[in-house]
Amino acid sequence: MLPPRQQSRVGGLQTSLSLVSSDPRLSPEEPRSNSDNIRESPTESASSRETWPTADAIAAKNVSGADKITLQDIARERVDIISEKMHHLPDEFLEELKSSLRVILEGGNGTQHREEFFILQKFVQSRTDLTAKTLIRAHRVQLEILVAINTGIQGFLHPNISLSQTSLIEIFVYKRCRNIACQNQLPADDCTCEICTNRNGFCNLCMCVICNKFDFEVNTCRWIGCDLCSHWTHTDCAIRDQLICMGPSAKSGAGPSEMVFRCHACKRTSELLGWVKDVFQHCAPSWDGEALMRELDFVSRIFHGSKDPRGRKLFLKCNDLKEKMKSGIVEPNAACRAILMFFQELEVDSPKSLENGESGRLIAPQEACNRIAEVVQEAIRKMELVADEKMRMFKKARMALEACDRELADKAREAAELKIDRQKKKLQIEELERIVRLKTAEADMFQFKATEAKREADRLQRIALAKSDKSEEEYTSNYLKQRLSEAEAEKQYLYEKIKLQESSRASQSSSGGDPSQMLMYSKIHDLLYSVPPKIDSQPNEHHPFRTNP
């Protein structure tokens, strides 16, 4: 039987996450975080169940309605679109998103929170675009939320737990154990069994092969390990599935039957009495009264149906110590010493019973050789177990070193990319500055030309005004001269007409003309030679120079 489940098997990572019992309202058949055919253990870490926010819980004061995103958006929209939006959101809003998802996973609102979580998980697990290649472009908070929804573990949202982006992506795509205290590459120890290869996200170092869940309990009878394949099973799950039962001795395969454990992974059996004895001998001195009571209860349930005399005695002894501890008759320290003494007595009684059973007959040489071979094989098997454990520790250290090297290479590549981007930005800024200087020089040149053109226009305008005034004066002078010549011509015409009339009048006077007519001609003559002709001061637009009628 494997040694007690030690803290080193899960990486030795200390965590502040508390352990809580399962919600009794959750049935094993309900869908869970990893896949539809996987069930939760009775005491999964508190980080494995979380809850769902209302719309008011994720509203940020400083974020407008158009910029705000919800958990449904993260679960449904494309990775690059949400990542771009989240880069422009304040850190306070992103923390509120994570807090709202933590509230959902805690399940404080019962059925409503479970339904909201299942809807989110359905959105995430039904998408085919969430691959390691696309998740590289995801925002840090976006990736943490997607992993928490996919696994149902709120520890990924805890402010004191910070995993690398590479680790989060590997957890999401089932290439790394989702147990924060384990973090092994999957399949663990390169196991090729059917469970490790076909069950997404299963880790044989920390998860139960039946319910596929993990917790942080170590040094306890709550976990049973297989001697051959090193897979682990919850004691409660093994009892429920009837994997703990009476069977032939796991060491010799013959002789009286005893209480054995049949591994769900490899279908082979391991004896339980020696395993319980090892657990108590190594771990019982460090237990308090409550832990000792719990371990005694596990042992009594394991050997409840035992028909083996030693197993029956152990069952009765555990029940007796539990009753005495409950009633206060026996102190925890005394009970611990009593159960350890009981295991020593069982070791003494075992060879005696074999001697009593075989004293009446001689041991055949072949049987003696077989027993010696069994002892040698047992020693070899224990040495192989130690060697396997050392090899696992070596592989684990090597994988951790490789992971650090990969992360260092990723950081170096990111630094080189940032340096190249910085140089590109610098060149772009210099190019923009050069363009700005060029445009400024062009603007100054155009401003100078505009000023010169304005001065030239003002000069031409002054010249045009001067020429316009001069032409107006010349036009007025010419017009007046023309009118004067017209007046002179009209005067000459009237003069000739009057002269003609005078000559005709003289001829008439000689013949006795009319005195009134003579008087009229005299007035016209005086008027013609005494009054100057009237000149129109306004020029004629259509006929600037008037002609004689």
Q: What's the mean pLDDT in 299-327?
A: 86
Q: Which one-letter DSSP state was computed for residue 539?
A: P
Instruction: State the Cα–Cα distance between residues 34 and 27, nearest whole angstrom.
Output: 16
Instruction: State the Cα–Cα distance between residues 161 and 495, nearest whole angstrom.
Output: 129
pLDDT at 365: 66
pLDDT exceeds 80 at position 187: yes
Instruction: State the Cα–Cα distance between residues 263 and 190, nearest whole angstrom.
Output: 19
Contact 119, 144 (CB under 8 A): no
pLDDT exceeds 50 at position 298: yes
Residues above pLDDT 90, as percent of the chain: 13
Instruction: State the Cα–Cα distance between residues 172 and 185, nearest whole angstrom.
Output: 12
pLDDT at 29: 32
**CB neighbourhood size of 447 (10 A):** 10
pLDDT in tens, 58-107: 444 445 555 678 888 888 888 888 888 888 888 888 888 888 888 888 87
Burial class (CB in 10 A: 0-12, 13-18, 19+), 278: middle
- Torsion sign (Cα): 209, 153, 192, 403: negative
Instruction: State the Cα–Cα distance between residues 311 and 321, nearest whole angstrom.
Output: 15
pLDDT exceeds 80 at position 7: no
Q: Within its chain, how far is the Cα of 321 from the centroid? A: 53
Total number of residues shown for the chain: 549
Contact 330, 289 (CB under 8 A): no
Which residues in 211-311 belong to E strands, given as ranges? 223-225, 232-234, 244-247, 258-262, 269-271
> Helix or strand or coil: residue 33?
coil
Q: Which one-letter DSSP state was computed for residue 228?
A: T
pLDDT in tens, 101-143: 888 888 777 788 888 888 888 888 888 888 888 888 888 888 8
Instruction: State the Cα–Cα distance between residues 408 and 1, nearest whole angstrom.
Output: 40
Q: What residue ranges do the domains of the chain occupy?
A: 68-173
Instruction: State the Cα–Cα distance between residues 487 and 467, nearest whole angstrom.
Output: 30
**Closest by CA position to 528, among listed 485, 499, 486:** 499
Q: How confident is the model at residue 453 (pLDDT cuts 50, 70, 90)?
A: very high
> Helix or strand or coil: residue 262?
strand
Q: How confident is the model at residue 426 (pLDDT cuts 50, 70, 90)?
A: very high
Contacts 24+ apart (CB under 8 A), 77-81: 78/129, 79/129, 79/130, 79/134, 79/135, 79/137, 79/138, 79/142, 80/134, 80/137
Across the chain, what does the average pLDDT equal?
76
| Tokens 């005399």 -> residue | 309
**Closest by CA position to 211, among listed 51, 35, 49:** 35
Instruction: State the Cα–Cα distance between residues 214 and 465, nearest whole angstrom.
Output: 101
Flag the least confident range among 166-170, 171-175, 253-257. 253-257
Instruction: State the Cα–Cα distance between residues 147 and 171, nearest whole angstrom.
Output: 7
Q: What's the pTM?
A: 0.53
Which amino acid appears at position 113 of this protein? H
Flag the least confident range among 4-8, 288-292, 330-334. 4-8
pLDDT in tens, 252-265: 555 567 888 888 88
Contact 154, 102 (CB under 8 A): yes
pLDDT at 162: 80
Structure tokens at 344: 């020593």
